[in-house]
Amino acid sequence: MDLGLVVPLWAWVALGAVIVVMLAIDLLAHRGAHVIGFREAAIWSSVWVAIALVFGGIVFWVYGAEAGTAYTTAWLLEKSLSVDNLFVFALIFAYFKVPREYQHRVLFFGVFGALVFRGIFLGVGVAVVERFTAILFVFGAILLWSAWKMLKDDDEADADQSKNIGVRLLKKVVPLKDEFHGTKFFVKEAGKRYGTPLLAVVAAIEAADLIFAVDSVPAVLAVSNEPFIVYSSNAFAILGLRSLYFLLSGLLERFHLLSKALAFILAFIGVKLFFQAGHEVISPSIPHVPTWLSLAVIVVSLTLAIVLSLRKPAPAGHGADGADGGHEVTDGPDGRTGGTESADGTGEHTAATGQSPTGPTTGAPPAARTGEPGATRAERRS
């Protein structure tokens, strides 16, 4: 939807400044490697949501209700789709056996890359839609295909992350070590530079985000093709992704109906794109789906999925391994997290020193999740 917004250069500069400042504050607040607990994640999640809503209020005030509703809808849509990303993060962390205290650092750089690449894809998407409106039919078909794949529930196994395209490309550029070296991405041995498993994890997460953009970008363009609206909404949704991961860590499996809600939302947005394309390409008599209706559908779908998931838990054994790859945090004698202990009772223990018992090419992937939201968008496209 073209709102005809006139956004001055200073507004773009201000948006960029806010994003950079918040990234800097987040990086400084978590400059020491430590496990992000529920309370800390809840505080940061509240901060990110509050900033996004305040920005939305400014959009309402400056550009009116229609633009404000478009921003809110696009932000909530991207936020809801990002829940699917969390399962991929959990899969990648479990496969590479990333100590919990290093996960925030990895996600920080993953989010930074996502902000850059998403901006590029959205810019290209807006330019293409402005010149070739009929491309909306293609975008709508992509979303309907994604929704169908999400509903198939075909019990696909978790992907071998050593075959992740980002990891494969990285190995062609720099040799990788099998051991973690604290929070370092590179180490030097005998005068030669090596990448650590953390670098491979960042590459895997960046590659996954490129795949997520295949339906995230068309979805947000179904709400608005105003560059300022689509990028700001995506940026604020992505910025809160790290804290959302730690907030929901261990709870993701409980919301087993979220995949159904996300599939319905994608299908609805896909149909909305067909109506929008038909209105602009075929005949003005074909109605638009109003933005407020899209917002209502997203809110109601997510609410129903969460409430029904909690009221009717998944059957026992359904998605047995949790967001941390079947490992749970154990506390040391001083109450601080000491590492991770295997959930199978074998007593396998990974110390909090950051050493990986197996490298990225030898560690076995976690047990497959079946019949649950863990069959993620990235896996379904592989």
What per-residue confidence (pLDDT) applies to 323? 41
What per-residue confidence (pLDDT) applies to 344? 39
For residues 272 and 222, is the Cβ–Cβ distance under 8 A?
A: yes
* Cα 300 to Cα 302: distance, rounded to the nearest angstrom: 6
pTM confidence score: 0.69
With cut-offs at 50, 70 and 90, classify the pLDDT of residue 61.
very high
* Cα 74 to Cα 99: distance, rounded to the nearest angstrom: 34
Task: Count the Cβ atoms, other than its own, within 10 Å of residue 26.
Answer: 19
* Cα 207 to Cα 167: distance, rounded to the nearest angstrom: 8
DSSP string, 140-199: HHHHHHHHHHHHH---PPPP-GGG-HHHHHHHHHS-B-SS--TT-SEEEETTEEEE-HHH
Span 135-146, pLDDT tens digits: 889 888 888 888
Query: Within 13 Å, how many C-alpha atoms sit on residue 121's CB side?
Result: 21
Q: Is the pLDDT of residue 154 over 50?
A: no
Tokens of 172: 């062609």
For residues 100 and 240, is the Cβ–Cβ distance under 8 A?
A: no
Span 169-217, pLDDT tens digits: 777 777 777 777 777 778 888 778 888 888 888 888 888 778 777 778 8
Q: Considering only CA atoms, which of 54, 57, 370, 107 is closest in space to residue 247?
A: 107
Query: Looking up tokens 């997510």, which residue turns up?
Result: 302
For residues 28 and 124, is the Cβ–Cβ distance under 8 A?
A: no
* C-alpha 96, offset from chain centre: 18
* Cα 39 to Cα 45: distance, rounded to the nearest angstrom: 10
Query: Looking up tokens 């359904």, which residue turns up?
Result: 318
Q: Is the pLDDT of residue 55 over 90?
A: yes
Residues 86-112 have a mean pLDDT of 81
Span 39-49, pLDDT tens digits: 888 888 899 99
Alpha helices in the chain (DSSP H): 9-29, 38-63, 65-96, 100-131, 135-152, 165-173, 197-223, 227-239, 241-248, 258-277, 291-311, 377-381
With cut-offs at 50, 70 and 90, classify the pLDDT of residue 382.
very low
What per-residue confidence (pLDDT) applies to 159? 53
With cut-offs at 50, 70 and 90, classify the pLDDT of residue 359.
very low
Residues 87-96 have a mean pLDDT of 79
* Cα 108 to Cα 130: distance, rounded to the nearest angstrom: 33
| Integer angstrom CA distances of residue 17 from 24, 109, 136, 236, 348 | 10, 18, 32, 13, 46
What per-residue confidence (pLDDT) applies to 87? 75
